[in-house]
């Protein structure tokens, strides 16, 4: 007996007084601004925290020890697993195949650099992690297992009792003696009772298992989401959002279904198979012997075809993911697609991938169909053979008709159970693959931990930043050095601007200050402390305000979006931040005011409005340091004027790093640095740089002449 398993293919400091502002007292200070960027940092709060000291070295060692090899390739659930599962020998073979299959599913779609790919390993299913999720549901799970086991034991009784019933009927037909109703009533009522209890037990274990499955899945979703949010920015550079979301949704769904099915039906089917095989042997050892001889041949053939179909299924599944990736990218960037009138091309790209996946799935379907047909023939031949051999045994009085009936029903139960086990086997392989994909990201330890480390008391925080000898390459392009021995100081309450060629590494400097990445060598220091020793949540949440060119708002109300910068802020604080950001006027002009819902990513607002809400969001946390990464470069002249007004107000009393393309916006900066090829090649005030007649004055000349055209 065998069965085809065809798996479905699835697819702060308070603002300093104005008198302290550098623009207010620069002349009095007589600072040599052009030297700031190379000056050494002031004394650290604690010398023990400096890099190069024991603690500093330990820190770097810890960081490098925590650096994990690249994101391992993840398996995609196989679409098909076909097995003959009959008897312990077959189960052993199956278990080996299952392990191999669970390990060999690789998600080739993750966008991890080639050099990282080579080292990556296929995720393995970790039973220890599963146990952590199952533990809280243990009582319900045990209850479900007990009920399922009892239901299976009752199922074994059914063929035997049916045999008794048939024997009564056969005897009555043969002898025409006694009261038929009286004789049949006892076994019939017993059977009816058995059916009733079996039904109740079945409902009971399904209810309990559904509860366990749903709770385990919910816990997994929450834990995985928390783990994803904790990961470094580099992790998101190397993985597509669609694929991460897929793990939160499809993979967990798949795992949940598998878990429920395997526990409930697996237990039931295995119990029934063994129980009925024993019954078969008791009824007729000869007939059972014949069946057992035929089975190993069928198992071997099934295993071979099964592994071939599993491979087909994996390829088809990968192709489906590819198609989904194309759709995900097009829909996620629908405005760009529309702006370039690329709907047709995106459709073509998607159609190409979908057609390929369709073809692969059709091939798979044909393979499954052939296999299913062959298995049906084999199954029916076995039934025919049983009746033929059983009839011979009846004629030689070695068996009663009731025994043959019991044998047939029991063998049908075995057949159904094996069919169900083979389906479960495929489901289990898919579940293990999906689970491994989920657990892979659960187990990921971010290189840059979100919490832990020092916090500098707000009142003693000056906001001086030093970039010291920084060399840096993005983790996704390790061979491409962006910053080379980069040095820069952002003095307390001063505005430093970085200008220069596109791709020169300006935004990278801001990313290092935000600690989106850690430098390959060198240190970023805040108040003389390496930011790697500081609490990252505090640094990002309370010290640095970051405003970039394309502010991303959430699809909630304006009030919620501004409060995102400080969740505990009062309504008055939100309004105050909006006033500072020049946003209060247009917000109150909306019929719903601060309750206006801004649409996905703030789609219902203009660029300038979005930017001012983003400024309010950054200002509400009263950051000591403000990073403006081309904050006005996406705006038209009028919007830029309003936003620039807000920014001028916002920068007062703060250490500010401005990255700008439009040089007109940074002329009043205390220091302007010109970057080229990862280094500062010129620095000084606007006037100093102009009089120098170097790159900066060239840039100014070029921009002026472009402006006049």
Ligand X SMILES: Nc1ncnc2c1ncn2[C@@H]1O[C@H](COP(=O)(O)OP(=O)(O)OP(=O)(O)O)[C@@H](O)[C@H]1O
Question: Are the beta carbons of 555 and 562 closer than 8 angstroms?
Answer: no
Between the CA of residue 26 and those of 42, 471, 648, what are the distances in Å?
Answer: 19, 32, 17
Using the minimum distance from each CB to ligand X, give the nearer residue, 267 or 482: 482
- In whole angstroms, the minimum distance from the beta carbon of 635 to ligand X comes to 15
- In whole angstroms, the minimum distance from the beta carbon of 634 to ligand X comes to 11
SS3 197: helix
Using the minimum distance from each CB to ligand X, give the nearer residue, 136 or 503: 503
Q: Is 507 in the site for ligand X (CB under 6 A)?
A: yes
Q: Is 632 in the site for ligand X (CB under 6 A)?
A: no
Q: What are phi and psi of 665, to 5 degrees?
A: -80, -10
Using the minimum distance from each CB to ligand X, give the nearer residue, 412 or 633: 633
Q: Is 70 in the site for ligand X (CB under 6 A)?
A: no
552's tokens: 């991303």
Using the minimum distance from each CB to ligand X, give the nearer residue, 101 or 508: 508
Using the minimum distance from each CB to ligand X, give the nearer residue, 105 or 507: 507
Contacts of 682 (CB under 8 A, 6+ apart): 673, 674, 689, 692, 694, 695, 696
**CA–CA dist 563, 573 (Å, integer):** 9
Using the minimum distance from each CB to ligand X, give the nearer residue, 401 or 505: 505
Contacts of 152 (CB under 8 A, 6+ apart): 267, 268, 269, 271, 272, 275
**CA–CA dist 160, 282 (Å, integer):** 10
Stretch of 57-65, 287-295, 365-373, 472-480 lying at the interface with ligand X (CB under 6 A): 472-480
Using the minimum distance from each CB to ligand X, give the nearer residue, 75 or 475: 475
Chain center to CA of 418: 35
**CA–CA dist 619, 651 (Å, integer):** 10
- In whole angstroms, the minimum distance from the beta carbon of 554 to ligand X comes to 22
Closest CA to 474 of 182, 116, 10: 116
Instruction: Kindly report the number of other CB atoms within 10 A of residue 297's CB atom.
Output: 12
Q: Is 125 in the site for ligand X (CB under 6 A)?
A: no
Using the minimum distance from each CB to ligand X, give the nearer residue, 184 or 634: 634
Helix axes of 127-134 and 180-230: crossing angle, nearest 10 degrees: 110
Q: Is 477 in the site for ligand X (CB under 6 A)?
A: yes
Q: Are strands 521-526 and 679-684 parallel, antiparallel or unpaired?
A: unpaired
Question: Are the beta carbons of 497 and 675 closer than 8 angstroms?
Answer: no
Using the minimum distance from each CB to ligand X, give the nearer residue, 116 or 419: 116
Using the minimum distance from each CB to ligand X, give the nearer residue, 111 or 570: 111
Q: How far apart are the first and last CA of the chain?
A: 84
- In whole angstroms, the minimum distance from the beta carbon of 499 to ligand X comes to 9
For ligand X, which residue of 137, 508, 561, 651 counts as binding (CB under 6 A)? 508
- In whole angstroms, the minimum distance from the beta carbon of 557 to ligand X comes to 31
- In whole angstroms, the minimum distance from the beta carbon of 472 to ligand X comes to 9
- In whole angstroms, the minimum distance from the beta carbon of 511 to ligand X comes to 7
Contacts of 442 (CB under 8 A, 6+ apart): 129, 220, 223, 224, 227
Q: What is the size of the binding site for ligand X (CB under 6 A)? A: 12
Using the minimum distance from each CB to ligand X, give the nearer residue, 510 or 574: 510
Q: Is 503 in the site for ligand X (CB under 6 A)?
A: yes
Q: Looking up tokens 């300038």, which residue turns up?
A: 608
Q: Is the dihedral of CA 612, 578, 554, 227 positive or negative?
A: positive
- In whole angstroms, the minimum distance from the beta carbon of 498 to ligand X comes to 8
Stretch of 268-276, 304-312, 503-511, 582-590 lying at the interface with ligand X (CB under 6 A): 503-511
- In whole angstroms, the minimum distance from the beta carbon of 678 to ligand X comes to 8
Using the minimum distance from each CB to ligand X, give the nearer residue, 253 or 476: 476
With residues binned 3-state (H G I as helix, E B as strand, rest as coil), the percentages for the chain, rounded to 5, are 65, 10, 25
Q: Is 520 in the site for ligand X (CB under 6 A)?
A: no
- In whole angstroms, the minimum distance from the beta carbon of 477 to ligand X comes to 5
For ligand X, which residue of 83, 314, 506, 621 counts as binding (CB under 6 A)? 506
Stretch of 92-100, 164-172, 476-484, 642-650 lying at the interface with ligand X (CB under 6 A): 476-484
- In whole angstroms, the minimum distance from the beta carbon of 251 to ligand X comes to 26
Strand (E) or helix (H) holding 651: helix 637-651
- In whole angstroms, the minimum distance from the beta carbon of 541 to ligand X comes to 22
Between the CA of residue 516 and those of 232, 388, 537, what are the distances in Å?
Answer: 7, 75, 12
Instruction: Kindly report the number of other CB atoms within 10 A of residue 708's CB atom.
Output: 6
Instruction: Kindly report the number of other CB atoms within 10 A of residue 369's CB atom.
Output: 12
Site mask for ligand X (CB under 6 A), range 430-469, x = bound: ----------------------------------------
Stretch of 220-228, 371-379, 504-512, 694-702 lying at the interface with ligand X (CB under 6 A): 504-512
Question: Are the beta carbons of 297 and 86 closer than 8 angstroms?
Answer: no
Residues 483-502 contacting ligand X, CB under 6 A: 502
The radius of gyration of the chain's CA atoms, rounded to the nearest angstrom, is 35
Using the minimum distance from each CB to ligand X, give the nearer residue, 292 or 634: 634
Q: Is 474 in the site for ligand X (CB under 6 A)?
A: yes
Question: Are the beta carbons of 243 and 325 closer than 8 angstroms?
Answer: yes
Using the minimum distance from each CB to ligand X, give the nearer residue, 638 or 706: 706
Q: Is 238 in the site for ligand X (CB under 6 A)?
A: no
Question: Are the beta carbons of 320 and 10 closer than 8 angstroms?
Answer: yes
The vertex-61 CA angle with 521 and 57, nearest 5°, equals: 75
Instruction: Kindly report the number of other CB atoms within 10 A of residue 667's CB atom.
Output: 15
Using the minimum distance from each CB to ligand X, give the nearer residue, 210 or 469: 469
Q: Is 237 in the site for ligand X (CB under 6 A)?
A: yes
Using the minimum distance from each CB to ligand X, give the nearer residue, 221 or 677: 677
- In whole angstroms, the minimum distance from the beta carbon of 642 to ligand X comes to 23
Stretch of 123-131, 470-478, 486-494, 554-562 lying at the interface with ligand X (CB under 6 A): 470-478
- In whole angstroms, the minimum distance from the beta carbon of 505 to ligand X comes to 4
For ligand X, which residue of 390, 402, 504, 519 counts as binding (CB under 6 A)? 504
For ligand X, which residue of 34, 476, 481, 703 counts as binding (CB under 6 A)? 476
- In whole angstroms, the minimum distance from the beta carbon of 673 to ligand X comes to 12
Q: Is 482 in the site for ligand X (CB under 6 A)?
A: yes
DSSP E strands, 501-654: 521-526, 529-530, 544-548, 625-629
- Burial of 642 by CB count in 10 Å (0-12 exposed, 13-18 middle, 19+ buried)? buried
- Give me the residues that bind ligand X (CB under 6 A), please: 237, 474, 476-477, 482, 502-508
């Amino acid at each position: 007996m065998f069965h085809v398993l065809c798996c479905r293919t699835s697819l702060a400091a308070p603002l300093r007084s104005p008198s302290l502002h550098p623009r207010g007292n620069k002349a009095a200070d007589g600072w040599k601004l052009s030297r700031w960027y190379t000056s050494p940092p002031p004394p650290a709060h604690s010398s023990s925290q400096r890099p190069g000291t024991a603690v500093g070295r330990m820190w770097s060692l810890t960081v490098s020890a925590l650096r994990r090899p690249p994101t391992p390739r993840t398996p995609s659930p196989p679409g098909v697993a076909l097995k003959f599962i009959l008897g312990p020998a077959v189960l052993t073979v199956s278990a080996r195949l299952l392990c191999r299959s669970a390990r060999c599913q690789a998600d080739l779609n993750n966008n991890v650099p080639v050099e990282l790919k080579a080292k990556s390993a296929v995720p393995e299913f970790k039973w220890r992690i599963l146990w952590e999720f199952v533990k809280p549901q243990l009582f319900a799970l045990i209850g479900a297992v007990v009920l399922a086991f009892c239901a299976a034991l009752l199922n074994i009784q059914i063929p035997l009792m049916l045999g008794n019933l048939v024997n009564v009927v056969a005897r009555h037909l043969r002898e025409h003696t006694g009261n038929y109703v009286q004789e049949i009533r006892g076994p019939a009522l017993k059977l009816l009772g058995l059916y009733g209890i079996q039904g109740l037990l079945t409902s009971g274990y399904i209810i309990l298992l559904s509860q366990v499955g749903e709770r385990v899945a919910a816990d997994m979703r929450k834990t995985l989401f928390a783990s994803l949010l904790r990961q470094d920015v580099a992790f998101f550079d190397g993985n597509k959002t669609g694929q991460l979301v897929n793990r939160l949704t499809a993979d967990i769904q798949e795992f949940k279904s598998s878990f429920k099915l395997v526990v409930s039906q697996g237990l039931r089917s295995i119990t029934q198979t063994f129980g009925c095989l024993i019954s078969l042997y008791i009824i007729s050892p000869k007939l059972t012997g014949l069946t057992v001889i035929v089975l190993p041949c069928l198992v071997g053939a099934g295993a071979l075809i099964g592994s071939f179909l599993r491979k087909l299924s994996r390829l088809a599944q990968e192709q489906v993911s590819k198609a989904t990736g194309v759709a995900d990218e097009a829909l996620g960037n629908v405005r760009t697609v529309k702006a370039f009138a690329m709907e047709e091309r995106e459709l073509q790209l998607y159609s190409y991938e979908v057609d390929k996946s369709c073809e692969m799935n059709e091939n798979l379907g044909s393979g499954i169909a052939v296999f299913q047909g062959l298995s049906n023939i084999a199954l029916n031949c076995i039934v025919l053979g049983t009746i033929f051999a059983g009839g011979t045994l009846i004629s030689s009085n070695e068996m009663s008709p009731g025994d043959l009936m019991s044998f047939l029903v029991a063998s049908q139960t075995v057949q159904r159970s094996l069919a169900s086990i083979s389906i479960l086997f495929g489901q289990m392989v898919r579940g293990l693959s999906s689970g491994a994909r989920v657990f892979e990201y659960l187990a990921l330890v971010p290189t840059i931990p979100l919490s832990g480390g020092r916090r500098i008391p707000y009142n003693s925080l000056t906001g001086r930043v030093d970039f010291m000898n920084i060399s840096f390459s993005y983790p996704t392009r390790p061979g491409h050095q962006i910053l080379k021995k980069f040095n820069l100081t952002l003095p307390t309450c001063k505005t430093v601007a970085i200008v220069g060629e596109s791709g020169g590494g300006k935004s990278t400097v801001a990313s290092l200050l935000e600690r989106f990445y850690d430098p390959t060598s060198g240190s970023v220091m805040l108040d003389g402390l390496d930011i790697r020793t500081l609490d990252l949540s505090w640094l990002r949440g309370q010290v640095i305000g970051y405003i970039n060119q394309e502010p991303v708002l959430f699809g909630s109300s304006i009030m919620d979006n501004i409060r995102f910068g400080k969740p505990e802020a009062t309504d008055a604080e939100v309004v105050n931040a909006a006033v500072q950001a020049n946003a209060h006027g247009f917000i109150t002009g909306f019929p719903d005011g601060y309750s206006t819902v801004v649409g996905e990513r703030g789609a219902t607002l203009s660029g300038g409005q979005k930017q001012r809400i983003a400024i309010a969001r950054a200002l509400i946390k009263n950051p000591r340091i403000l990073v403006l990464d081309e904050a006005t470069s996406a705006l038209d002249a009028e919007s830029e004027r309003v936003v620039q007004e807000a920014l001028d107000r916002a920068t007062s009393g703060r250490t500010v790093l401005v990255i700008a393309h439009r040089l007109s916006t940074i002329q009043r900066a205390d220091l302007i640095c010109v970057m080229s090829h990862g280094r500062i090649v010129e620095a000084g005030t606007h006037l100093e740089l102009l009089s120098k007649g170097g790159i900066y004055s060239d840039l100014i000349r070029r921009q002026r002449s472009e402006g006049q055209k």
